Amino acid sequence: MRLMFGTFVVALLCGACSAPPSQPVVADTSASDAAAHRAHDTYVAAINSNNLDTLLGVLTDDVVYMAAHEAPMVGKAAVKPWVAGYFAAFKTQWDKPVQEFVVNGEWAYERYAYTSTDTPVGGGEPVVDTGWGLVIYHHDPDDQWRVARDAWGPDHPAR
pLDDT exceeding 70 applies to what percent of the chain? 80
The answer to whether 58 and 70 have CB atoms below 8 angstroms apart is no
Write b or e for each residue in 113-134: b if 16 or more Cβ atoms lie within 10 A of its Cβ, otherwise e. Answer: ebebebbeeeeeeeeebeeebb
Distances (CA, A) of 147 to 18, 28, 65, 110, 124: 33, 21, 10, 11, 31
pLDDT, residue 92, reads 97
- Other residues' Cβ atoms within 10 Å of the Cβ of residue 33: 15
pLDDT exceeding 90 applies to what percent of the chain? 77
pLDDT, residue 26, reads 32
Helix residue ranges per DSSP H, the chain: 2-17, 23-48, 52-56, 76-89
* Cα–Cα distance for residue pair 54/50, rounded to 1 Å: 8
> pLDDT-based confidence at 17, cuts 50/70/90?
very low
